[in-house]
């Protein structure tokens, strides 16, 4: 690993041309002003911070509500054994070979171990991200949860809750939201479950679950995605008596559109397409959905006490004695505990840090009218972003426009506007290139007169010896 660290430093030194800082330091009320505040220090935040640094913008900082090493889902609520993406997919390395997952894995375990590897274990992915942050010396403040954003004196004022509930303010010219899958809303539990059952009888796949307490229990899982199967498998492996997974679809999805999307044309230029074409792309992608990986599926199917039930949506739930009774079109099912794998809902008013902005943010349904046969309430709920990942106002002349323009949405909710981006390893390099270029452009143009004055003041002689040597 030390040899790899030396190689990284050598590689970065070879390509350091034009990466020195060029922005002008600012202060507000005696405090330093960041050029960019990045909310989230997981894979999207790390890649963004590194991408900005490569463009000479190092007056940045990542802020994450988790303690160091706990950023993202990988060692918290992720219950897959390995990543779902193939091992050859790169992202946070931004195309530098010594920073790739392969280079890290080979340095850690050896070249043969990489050749033998199928997919990267999730704990190793977290360790890789931790290493990236350290070897690149990227700034981060952990245990800082963003609770409010405001626009004052031409800057974004960010309010964080940090250790022991203390509130802290940070000033920044730009903000990048790199808060992952749930960054545009919250994890979703159907109201007919959350409104009828005590919390001791169910949990969402994104929540902490004590699987030891489920040993010998009958478990019902709702959902057809990878996380539903991951949690079903974890319950089975921990000793659940029986696990039944139910989904409304007539068949489990089998085609993974993400594999099609992993080409540089789509990853680079999707956002340049007309609205109608982007809408039709997304309708197809969302209709296909993403299947559980083959190894995840067999992880469940290898247990005789597992069954999946297609065409079996849950209509209602109730408690009867010690049982949780689930009503389905196929009849009642009885369980001891429910695991809910119904994903998330896009609703920015549910995010504390976006509560002030949410009523002003343009959504797809505000900017685009789909043909009658192609409507989608789901897609219509996503934010309609500008070409720089920035929020746009619902109404022209909205006084919140300067704040909206300063906030760049690099979460999953950017997908209909920008394609895959910060929450997907597959698209990270392409998204960071566009995002970092756009932010750098805004900062440089805003300070154009200062840069011109810097040139006018520039007076360093290069020709200093007027006589020939000797």
Q: What are the sequence ranges of the domains in the chain?
A: 2-184+345-451, 190-254+291-342
Element (H, E) at 320: strand 316-320
What CATH class is the domain 2-184+345-451? Answer: alpha beta
CB 340 within 8 A of CB 204: yes
Structure tokens at 84: 């779902």
Query: Tokens 């009320």 map to which residue?
Result: 29
Structure tokens at 3: 């040899």
Residue 272 zone, left/alpha/beta (φ > 0; ψ -120 to 50; rest): alpha
| Helix, strand, or coil (residue 334) | strand
Query: Tokens 């997907």 map to which residue?
Result: 424
Beta bridge mates, 344 = 187
67: Cα separation from own chain's centroid = 18
As a dihedral over the C-alpha atoms of residue 211, residue 215, residue 218, residue 221, rounded to 10 degrees, the angle is 20
CB 394 within 8 A of CB 366: yes
pLDDT on residue 258: 86
CB 342 within 8 A of CB 283: no
276: Cα separation from own chain's centroid = 25
Neighbours of 23 (CB within 10 A): 19
| pTM, two decimal places | 0.95
pLDDT digit of tens for each residue in the chain (470 aa)?
999 999 999 999 999 999 999 999 999 999 999 999 999 999 999 999 999 999 999 999 999 999 999 999 999 899 999 998 889 989 999 999 999 999 999 999 999 999 999 999 999 999 999 999 999 999 999 999 999 999 999 999 999 999 878 899 999 999 999 999 889 999 999 999 999 999 999 999 999 999 999 999 999 999 999 999 999 999 999 999 999 999 999 999 899 998 899 899 999 999 999 999 999 999 999 998 888 989 999 999 999 999 999 999 999 999 999 999 999 999 999 999 999 999 999 999 999 999 999 999 999 999 999 999 999 999 999 999 999 999 999 999 999 999 999 999 999 999 999 998 777 888 899 999 999 999 999 999 999 999 999 999 999 999 988 888 87
Same fold, 2-184+345-451 and 190-254+291-342: yes
Structure tokens at 158: 């960010």
First-to-final CA distance of the chain: 50
How are beta strands 155-161 and 34-39 bridged, if at all? unpaired
Give the 3-state secondary structure percentages of the chain, helix then strand then coil, rounded to 5.
40, 20, 40
264: Cα separation from own chain's centroid = 20
Those residues with Cβ within 8 angstroms of residue 90's Cβ, 6 or more apart along the chain or in another chain = 100, 101, 425, 429
Architecture of domain 190-254+291-342: 3-Layer(bba) Sandwich (3.50)
The CA–CA distances, whole Å, from 208 to 1, 133, 202, 248, 411 equal: 33, 26, 11, 25, 22
């Amino acid at each position: 690993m030390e040899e790899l660290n030396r190689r990284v430093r050598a590689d970065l030194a070879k390509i350091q041309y034009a990466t020195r800082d060029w922005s002008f330091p600012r202060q507000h009320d005696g405090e330093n002003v960041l050029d960019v505040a990045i909310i989230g220090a997981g894979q999207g935040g790390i890649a963004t911070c590194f991408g900005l640094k490569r463009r000479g913008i190092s007056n940045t900082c990542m802020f994450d509500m988790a303690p160091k090493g706990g950023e993202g889902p990988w060692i918290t609520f992720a219950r897959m054994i390995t990543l779902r993406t193939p091992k050859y997919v790169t992202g946070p390395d931004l195309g530098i070979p010594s920073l790739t997952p392969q280079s890290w894995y080979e340095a850690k375990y050896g070249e043969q171990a990489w050749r033998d590897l199928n997919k990267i274990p999730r704990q190793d992915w977290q360790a890789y991200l931790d290493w990236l942050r350290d070897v690149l010396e990227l700034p981060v403040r952990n245990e800082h949860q963003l609770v409010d954003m405001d626009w004052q004196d031409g800057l974004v004022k960010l309010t964080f809750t940090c250790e022991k509930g203390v509130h802290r303010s940070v000033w920044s010219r730009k903000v990048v939201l790199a808060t992952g899958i749930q960054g545009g809303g919250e994890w979703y539990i159907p109201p007919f479950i959350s409104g009828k059952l005590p919390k001791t009888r169910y949990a969402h796949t994104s929540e902490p679950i004590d699987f030891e307490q489920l040993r010998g229990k009958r478990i019902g899982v709702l959902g057809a995605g990878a996380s539903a199967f991951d949690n079903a498998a974890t319950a089975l492996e921990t000793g659940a008596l029986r696990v039944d997974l139910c989904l409304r679809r007539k068949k489990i999805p089998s085609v993974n559109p993400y594999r099609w999307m992993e080409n540089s044309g789509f990853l680079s230029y999707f956002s340049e397409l007309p609205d109608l074409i982007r809408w039709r792309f997304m309708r197809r992608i969302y209709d296909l959905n993403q299947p559980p990986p083959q190894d995840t599926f067999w992880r469940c199917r290898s247990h005789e006490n597992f069954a999946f039930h297609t065409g079996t949506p849950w209509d209602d739930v109730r408690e009867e004695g010690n049982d949780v009774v689930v009503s389905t079109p196929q009849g009642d099912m009885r369980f001891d505990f429910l695991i809910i794998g119904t994903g998330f809902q896009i609703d920015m008013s549910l995010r504390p840090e976006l509560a002030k902005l949410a009523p002003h943010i343009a959504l797809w349904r505000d900017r685009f009218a789909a043909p009658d046969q192609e409507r989608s309430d789901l897609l219509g709920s996503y934010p309609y972003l500008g070409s720089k990942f920035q929020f746009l106002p619902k109404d022209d002349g909205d006084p919140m426009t300067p704040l909206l323009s300063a906030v760049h949405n690099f979460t999953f909710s950017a997908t209909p506007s920008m394609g895959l981006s910060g929450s997907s390893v597959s698209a990270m390099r392409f998204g960071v290139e566009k995002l970092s270029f756009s932010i750098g452009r805004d900062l440089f143009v805003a300070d154009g007169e200062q840069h011109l004055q810097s040139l006018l003041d520039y007076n360093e002689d290069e020709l200093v010896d007027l006589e020939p040597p000797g």
